[in-house]
Amino acid sequence: MTDYRAPVSDMTAALSVVGMADIASLPGYEDASDDMVAAILEEAGKLAGSVLSPLNALGDRQGCSITEDGRVTTPDGFPQAYQQFVEGGWNGVPFDPDFGGQGLPMLLGTALFEMWQGANMSFGLCPMLTVGSIELLTHHGSDAQKSTWLPKLISGEWTGTMNLTEPQAGSDLAAVRTKATAAPELGEGIYRIQGGKIFITHGDHDMSANIVHMVLARLPDAPQGIKGISLFIVPKFLLNEAGEPGDPNDLRVVSLEHKLGIHASPTCVMAFGDKGGAIGYLVGEENRGIEYMFTMMNNARLAVGVQGVGIAERATQAAVSYAKDRVQGPDPAKREKVSVSIIHMPDVRRMLMTMRALTQAARLITFQTAAEFDRAKAHPDEAVRATAEARAALLTPIAKAWSTDVGIQVANLGIQVHGGLGFIEETGAAQYLRDARIAAIYEGTNGIQAIDLVGRKLIRDRGTALSELVAEMRTTQADLTQVLPDLGQAFGLALDDVEAAQAWILENSDPVNMQSAATPFLNLMGLATGGWLLGKLALNAKAGTGDPNHDTARLTVAGFFLRQLLPATGGHLAAIRAGAEDLMALDEDALSPV
């Protein structure tokens, strides 16, 4: 089984492509110098490789357990590893210094987050939800709520969760039934929460002193549907006068879900208010909970995309290591019938090159998205902030859906490279696929991401944000054509497909055609965006970065992607133009094979 090694060199190159130097020049981010970034990546890589990675397989085998009194226990070593994580200040890297954060760019935090996910995805899920809770309270919490909850969440001493889903309300949050009843005797803005939630990641565990649940619930007189849902802070332990965890709140873990993967991450069925009502604190205004929760969800969607990158990186490392060692068959490039390792075989090379190219492309997309969030937050020019906000909104569903699909595809290829041993748990290859599979489902399934991309990000503004992105991509195409003509030509054809797809969708924007086109359009955009950023990486490598071996490797990987993977945009365009007729032609009974 191969240990994880943080890909610091590839991350540094990707940060350069998406403009880390420009981000570091923005007000508030001046501390993110090249030396500081390099030092942080190096130290984070040590934690990921030496502390988190060795727990990955153990956690998968051991899983989590629940005691008779409802306490959840994580696998051996997880609480101690989490304390090292907190003591190192890793949770607070991208957050407000006024509440104990380090004030560094989200882009740098995204690179670190990839390390946590690649080293140990089950572990990385805990700080992932905490980050979302911090973003939510930063944007929508009152000053009192910020001062009460943010310092311990930013430090990581307390962790956060997101409580949306109920048995009858999966992605349809309008069906939420959890109730909130005002408790004026306890104070203004305090409510009693009653109801049940499912699929709550790290809903309970033994790694932090308190768990701060963000819970969607409905007031008695609230409007029906999605506009009648409010958001509440519901801590595991109520705070005493000193602001420390005191009496337990009226909530409990009913059970743990038995899952395909991420066994070391407790996914909880939660009950609130069995003894009269869990104490909850209203965030913001009544009936605006969905609006507020989307701040947390948008952050989580990018983070989930980074999970896909992390798993893909780890699966690629394992597959390359195995292919170097596995001797089987003669070298097809030589006449001698001497057995060589399978990395000499062209078909194995195709799999490995596909894994590496897809991983690089997905990393660049998630980094680019994070960079746009930083620009939208910190750039002094209001017009630039607005453009970056629109760009981030456009890229987020691509970063989430395409990158998690890449995680699954790359982990699946990793099993294939291992052959029969990939199907055996001891090699670790199977765990990567099992862990990766959930990422295409949670925080909005990838189909929902595709519908969001087409319905909200393309049709709503009639393609304005996309056209601006394509114009920037055309500039890169022109640069490629000057320096690397064949790559420029390949990228130009893909951009033609993007523009043709956009035109077709805008002309056929009824709900059925729009939804039928959504997934192939997202796949097309993932390839085109990955091609754009890999093209920029190739230009940097061609100009020279100081390490000829790395430059050659990056040029080769980018060339493989643009020449051999990017042409698939034409197939996605054909699927878009085929419309909904084939999809909707059969009635429900005819779809059944019996």
Residue numbers annotated as active site = 443
Cβ-based burial of 592 (10 A; exposed 0-12, middle 13-18, buried ≥19):
exposed
Helix, strand or coil for residue 484? coil
Residue 162: which residues within 8 A CB-CB, separation 6 or more? 129, 132, 133, 200, 201, 214, 293, 296, 297, 300
Distance (Å, whole) CA 466 – CA 454? 10
Distance (Å, whole) CA 145 – CA 134? 11
Distance (Å, whole) CA 324 – CA 319? 9
* Cα dihedral 400, 233, 373, 438 in deg (nearest 10): -10
**Cα dist. 429→124, 362, 416, 426 in Å?**
19, 20, 9, 8
Residue 349: which residues within 8 A CB-CB, separation 6 or more? 343
Report yes or no: 8 and 358 within 8 Å, Cβ to Cβ.
no
Report yes or no: 200 and 269 within 8 Å, Cβ to Cβ.
yes
At 199, which helix (H) or strand (E)? strand 190-201
Report yes or no: 278 and 251 within 8 Å, Cβ to Cβ.
yes
Alpha helices, DSSP H, located in 120-197: 121-140, 143-155
Distance (Å, whole) CA 257 – CA 166? 14
Distance (Å, whole) CA 92 – CA 90? 6
DSSP type of residue 471: H
The partner residues of 181 in beta bridges, in order of sequence, read 192
Q: Tell me which amino acid residue 217 is.
A: A
